[in-house]
Amino acid sequence: MEKELEHYFDRLWPICRSISGNGVRESLSILSEIVPLNIHEVPSGTRVLDWTVPKEWNIREAYIITPDGQRIADLQVNNLHIVSYSIPVNASFEWDELAPHLHTLPSMPDAIPYITSYYKEQWGFCLTHKEWESLPREGTYQVVIDSSLEDGHITYGEAIIPGTTHEEIIFSTYICHPSMANNELSGPLTQAFLFKQLAQFKNPKYTYRFIVIPETIGAIICLSNYGNHWKEHLKAGFVITCVGDDSPFQYKRSRRGNALVDRISEHVLHHLAPNALIRDFAPNGSDERQYCSPGFNLPVGSLMRTPYYQHPYYHTSLDNKEFISFKALAETVIMYAKLAEAIELNDYYVNTQPYGEPQLGKRNLYPETISAEFKRDYLDTLLYLINFSDGEHSLLDIAIKRDKPIFDFAEPLRKCMECGLLVRKQ
Amino acid sequence: MEKELEHYFDRLWPICRSISGNGVRESLSILSEIVPLNIHEVPSGTRVLDWTVPKEWNIREAYIITPDGQRIADLQVNNLHIVSYSIPVNASFEWDELAPHLHTLPSMPDAIPYITSYYKEQWGFCLTHKEWESLPREGTYQVVIDSSLEDGHITYGEAIIPGTTHEEIIFSTYICHPSMANNELSGPLTQAFLFKQLAQFKNPKYTYRFIVIPETIGAIICLSNYGNHWKEHLKAGFVITCVGDDSPFQYKRSRRGNALVDRISEHVLHHLAPNALIRDFAPNGSDERQYCSPGFNLPVGSLMRTPYYQHPYYHTSLDNKEFISFKALAETVIMYAKLAEAIELNDYYVNTQPYGEPQLGKRNLYPETISAEFKRDYLDTLLYLINFSDGEHSLLDIAIKRDKPIFDFAEPLRKCMECGLLVRKQ
Amino acid sequence: MEKELEHYFDRLWPICRSISGNGVRESLSILSEIVPLNIHEVPSGTRVLDWTVPKEWNIREAYIITPDGQRIADLQVNNLHIVSYSIPVNASFEWDELAPHLHTLPSMPDAIPYITSYYKEQWGFCLTHKEWESLPREGTYQVVIDSSLEDGHITYGEAIIPGTTHEEIIFSTYICHPSMANNELSGPLTQAFLFKQLAQFKNPKYTYRFIVIPETIGAIICLSNYGNHWKEHLKAGFVITCVGDDSPFQYKRSRRGNALVDRISEHVLHHLAPNALIRDFAPNGSDERQYCSPGFNLPVGSLMRTPYYQHPYYHTSLDNKEFISFKALAETVIMYAKLAEAIELNDYYVNTQPYGEPQLGKRNLYPETISAEFKRDYLDTLLYLINFSDGEHSLLDIAIKRDKPIFDFAEPLRKCMECGLLVRKQ
């Protein structure tokens, strides 16, 4: 999987994306080779919840010619150089006029910052502080921004794996940042390869929905469409972001704090990634802000590696290919698949012989041979399953009580259901 | 404030107080210079709850003449020398007759203990163990106690700051101990200067009641008057005692344990006095025993410094001016004022745009300028406020979630209310 | 008590017990000298819950003659040599035929393991691994098992101490293992001597039931008889097992986890045996598996020393007299008696003067003499009792709040009830 991930990473990296425009369309087209995305276009001006879909932005060229004739801050060199949604400009400026439009990070002099201005029409360039310091303060600068900001569309993609019920599990990721690795491409890549994993489930109970959207406005659009459906039918959801570096996993809880998505994520990580961190919900970060807004309050968490504000290269040109690991990215895909597997496995089961311990021998559930060195482990898992399947403890609850991974219960569960000792709770 | 506190301390110190009598009246008269007290007189014999108002006690002179003619245990030298409520005596005694009436503290040989006998008629003297050891065991002692114990009154004072509602916050302190500093005068002094602070509140939501009473019987009297009113309308209450030394704050919870008064006190101390201790309720100590009796179970806690039983000089002549600090006393006044301010600020607010995050930019709530070194702190406070203002989380709950002082929310709260994004929950 | 315990231990030790048969009858007869047991006989074939009462097994002789004429694995030498419930055999075998019927513990070469096969008809011998290694692999072995496995009965014993109510406390122990000390005889011996202790209670509130049964099937039989009664009337129950070694106490919680039996056991151990361990319920171990099956879910815990699976000699011949301590056993008896005493003492009491603190002096509840070195301890216990006796806090709750043993409250409780300040909650 690692080689494939890298291949797609390299193709997606150079594209200049924003919350709208052809860069998004091109990126979704590439991802469609892995996951069968339906592409949706939402017109500018559409009212969605408290928001209005903004104009579409496209850019062809942007650069500055210095007084001594050098071409700097060139979009073709690094697409972070342009402030996203910059309006068209073709004019000359003295240094003092130009200066308010130049953005740098004095604390990280080698990094180009990433800046946007979606809802206030202006323009600007980002460059390294080192380069900024070397620029002459006298003479005339020529600024070229060949962009368009016009009525158009917001574009997003969506794929479905149908389940045997309408209860849904969603995986949401965003595609609106230009060339950044952990805080962007790690998300859509994980989501796409996760689709391939989950497509192998046989008769999944849940319907899986994969959403690739521009951050914020995309989530607002989806909530405008599906919000009421999800309030009834969303079993669990995840925002996939910042999953590419090789730091330990961090799970950010949903606003509810103890929803199934939270409890199952903590359980699976406890056993499969014991050094993972668990963090409470905070109404900042990424699209969990939308899914967990108080009117919806959906059970949506986020499994990350090093989250947005914690990684030093956040929103800079240093969040690049060197910062991430394709091995870590592949492990993230597998961990997300285990979370889905655990949610599929979990349910409430009922012991049909709840008075005293059922006689295991006559049902061929007891270890067959007698032996002086009896192994208790399998039998104990079975006994926990039978004793606590009272309709009030989910399989997850039982696994937590036993402090063993929920996956260990799959085999005894199957046997007990075959002989009728356990039935699914109605 | 410190100089003023010391001035009033020095005037109140020498007065011989008990649970009744002219010493109380004189003390209340001095406090009235700071806080506009209404003075109440309750006649002896009045039935109040399970109690009967006792006789009034006044004392003019008390001393012992030793066989060798020395005047000892003289009320004029230290008013702890007389057991409070001692009946009149004018007679001669041999040592063996006198001895049961003399009280000392062998473990603290330089301290005069403080002893009372309000509800059993007897008499006695307290002296240092060192002096007691030096007394001759032979010869005749002359005892003079020029006291009166007769039908009269219990006296207490009360002041009100009216609020816009009848919901009340009470501050209760006691004035019945003779010359002791931490375990008495620190209480009425804090209360009086706190009145001056809170009188500056503009349109306070709550009505503030300040009560200066003799301990136990005074609280019983007030509960007899206001108990039923408070069961309906008491938002929070505090017993002010032992607040004058410079040890860290200790907050003693109300009997309920998680009432608003408890949660707000713990929150404010956590941020403003991180070395403060939090203690569970215990049905001993001071007048919280009465307010938190099971029939009333009022939300009354107590913010102290070194509490009664914990300070070594408790109920002795060593609890004097040297033991306390007027700087600490002034800080106590301010901390109590911050508690009231936090209770005023707290409420349930409701986000009128709960579906998705409201667009902050169009309401001028988003930081105006774009910048590479964006400061998240103010924005996060705002986002917590908006996200959790769902009518189920109080402002206190939100501040606790964010782990920032509730006071930080005052400014964004004001802005959100001005633009109608938040409204007070009805 | 220790000498008596040892005397009965020595008499019970050599008897070959199983879940049925004359060994059980003989053992119950000996125990009847201490506790007045009613003996019950349940016929083979009786249907009990999910189970059927098995045939009765008796054995007279069992041994193997080696090719060189030695008599080994002789029942008369150690009754662990025979697999319990082995069918009759009298035949010759080559080594390869015999080998599957021989059981050893390679990891403990000096120990004879303990093995049973109650519900699958087969035969076998257990021997030390050391002896097994020395046996010749050639030549003919003669096997003699003079047993009978026929319709008969399961036998168990029961004793009652009647209380003033039908609310019950049960002590359940098992008698079905042959010569093992901690994991068998410690249980019935503790139970029998506990009976002697509790028989001294004057007018106990609860009815005490003592059950001596074969493990598993015996508990199933009792639940078949009393299960519905207990669902209504069982106040607390204990499985007594593994209580003879001198390790710290371990209390295993009931399945409910916070039933009275759990809270009172934890409280008493916290004060009387502070190094005790508290463990959550697990659906393995002994007869708590039956009592705490989900259909019954009875409040039954287990106070042990070193439990079954934790002690290295579990189910081997090394679990013998040397492994246990009669001093520890006697202390276990006393600790169980304290648990019963605490449950008897606990109740909900109501303060008849809940408004303000009742005046203690007029009820002679206040310490009579005034003194400078007043001891607060007794008074505080009294104040906690009065303040929290609101009908919502049990005496146990109050003792936990005060962090003092519940036994400390017996005396102030008696005084408060005598003067009518406290009454039992109806």
| Residue B356 to residue A220, Cβ atoms within 8 A | yes
Share of chain B above pLDDT 90, in %: 94
Nearest to A75 by CA among A90, A89, A87, A60: A60
Residue A371 has pLDDT above 80, yes or no: no
Q: Centre a 10 Å sphere on the Cβ of residue A228 and count the other Cβ atoms it contains.
A: 12
Span between the terminal Cα atoms of chain B, in Å: 40
According to DSSP, residue B370 is labeled -
Query: Residue A335: what residue type?
Result: M
Residue A176 and residue B15: Cα distance in Å, rounded?
A: 77
What three-state secondary structure class fits A86?
coil
Confidence label for B311 from pLDDT (cuts 50, 70 and 90): confident
How would residue C87 be classed by pLDDT, with cut points 50, 70 and 90? very high
**Tally of residues, chain A:** 426
Cα atoms in the 13 Å half-sphere on the side-chain side of C228:
3
Q: Is the pLDDT of residue A408 over 60?
A: yes
Q: What average pLDDT does range B248-254 have in this prediction?
A: 98
Contact C372 B255 (CB under 8 A): no
Inter-residue contact B167 to B220 (CB < 8 Å): no
**Contact C145/C88 with Cβ under 8 angstroms?**
yes
In this structure, the number of other CB atoms found within 10 A of the CB of residue C262 comes to 23
Q: Pick the residue of B19, B46, B47, B50 with the most C CBs within 10 A to test the interface with C by mutation.
A: B50
Greatest CA separation found in chain B?
Answer: 95
The pLDDT-based confidence of C366 (bands split at 50, 70, 90) is confident
Task: Spell out the residues 6+ positions from residue A42 whose beta carbon is closer than 8 angstroms to its own.
Answer: A48, A53, A153, A154, A155, A156, A221
Predicted local distance difference test score (pLDDT) of residue C125: 97
Residue type, B271: H
pLDDT, tens digit (0-9, with 9 covering 90-100), for B122-172: 999 999 999 999 999 999 999 999 999 999 999 999 999 999 999 999 999
Strands A140-150 and A56-65: antiparallel
Where does the pLDDT of residue C372 fall: very low under 50, low under 70, confident under 90, or very high at 90 and above?
low
Return the closest-CA partner of residue C130 out of C104, C164, C158: C104
Q: What backbone torsions phi and psi does residue A46 show, to the nearest 5 degrees?
A: -65, 135
Instruction: List CB contacts (< 8 A) between B254 and chain C.
Output: none
Residue labelled with tokens 């099937």: C217
Evaluate if residue B68 carries a pLDDT over 60.
yes
Tell me which chains share at least 3 CB pairs under 8 Å with chain A. B, C
Closest CA to C55 of C108, C29, C28, C18: C18
In whole angstroms, give the CA distance from residue B332 to residue C156. 71
Q: What is the pLDDT of residue A366?
A: 83
DSSP 3-state assignment of C348? Answer: strand
3-state DSSP assignment of residue A154: strand
Cα separation, C199 vs C258, in Å, equals 28
Listing DSSP states for A116-174 in one string gives: B-TTS----EE--HHHHHHS-SSSEEEEEEEEEEES-EEEEEEEEE--SSS-EEEEEEE
**Do B386 and A295 lie within an 8 Å CB cutoff?**
no
Indicate whether B368 pLDDT > 90.
no
pLDDT at A272: 98
Q: What is the dihedral of CA C369, C373, C375, C379, to 10 degrees?
A: 50
In chain B, residues with a C-beta closer than 8 Å to the C-beta of C390 are: 294, 297
Which residues fall within 8 angstroms of residue B84, CB to CB, at 6 or more apart?
A: B18, B19, B57, B114, B115, B116, B117, B118, B178
| Residues of A engaging B, defined by a Cβ cutoff of 8 Å | 49-51, 83, 103-107, 113, 115-117, 119-120, 122, 124, 126, 216, 219-220, 223-224, 227, 255, 280, 282-284, 289-290, 292-297, 309
How far is A424 from A422, CA to CA, in rounded Å?
7
Burial letters for C384-395: b for 16+ Cβ neighbours within 10 Å, e otherwise? bbbbbbbeebbb
Q: Which residues does residue A161 pair with via DSSP β-bridges, in sequence order? A: A208
Question: Is A270's pLDDT higher than 80?
Answer: yes
Give every CB contact of residue C146 below 8 A, 6+ residues apart in sequence: C59, C60, C61, C62, C88, C90
Average pLDDT over chain C reads 96
**Average of per-residue pLDDT across C136-149:** 97
Q: Are B303 and B339 in contact (CB under 8 A)?
A: yes
Pick the more confident residue, A11 or C308.
A11
User: Are C293 and A362 in contact (CB < 8 Å)?
Assistant: no
CB B385 within 8 A of CB B422: yes
Q: What would the two tokens of residue C12 be?
A: 């019970």
**Nearest Cα to Cα of residue B126 among B185, B179, B202:** B179
Is pLDDT above 70 for C217?
Answer: yes
Amino acid C264: pLDDT: 98
User: B236: helix, coil or strand?
Assistant: strand
Put simply, the answer to whether A387 touches C120 (Cβ < 8 Å) is: no
This model of the complex carries an ipTM of 0.93
Look at residue A151 and tell me whether its pLDDT is greater than 80.
yes
What is the C-alpha separation between B330 and B341, in angstroms, rounded?
17
Minimum CA–CA partner of B109 in chain C: C372
* Residue A74 contacts residue A81 (beta carbons within 8 Å): yes
Q: What per-residue confidence (pLDDT) applies to B312?
A: 84
Q: Which residues of B touch C (CB under 8 A)?
A: 49-51, 83, 103-107, 113, 115-117, 119-120, 122, 124, 126, 216, 219-220, 223-224, 227, 255, 280, 282-284, 289-290, 292-297, 309
**What per-residue confidence (pLDDT) applies to A374?**
61
Q: What pLDDT sits at residue A309?
A: 85
Q: How far is C113 from chain A (nearest CA, A)?
A: 6
Report whether pLDDT(C426) > 90. Answer: no
Beta strands in A253-403 (DSSP E): 277-279, 300-304, 348-351, 390-394
Q: Is the model's pLDDT at B351 over the cut of 60?
A: yes
pLDDT for residue A224? 98
Per-residue pLDDT averaged across A373-386, rounded?
87
Tokens of C355: 């408004």
> Which of A357, A359, A370 has the CB atom closest to C293's CB atom?
A357
Residue B372 scores a pLDDT above 60: no
Q: Tell whether the model's pLDDT for residue B370 goes beyond 80.
A: no
CA dihedral sign of residues C361, C363, C368, C372: negative
| A322-348 average pLDDT score | 97
Residue A372 has a pLDDT of: 57
Q: Measured between CB atoms, which of C351, C383, C389 is closest to B284?
A: C383
pLDDT at C368 over 70: no
Q: What is the pLDDT of residue C376?
A: 81
- Tens of pLDDT along A341-353? 999 999 999 999 9
Q: Give the dihedral sign, CA B16/B17/B22/B27.
A: positive
Rounded mean pLDDT, B372-390: 87
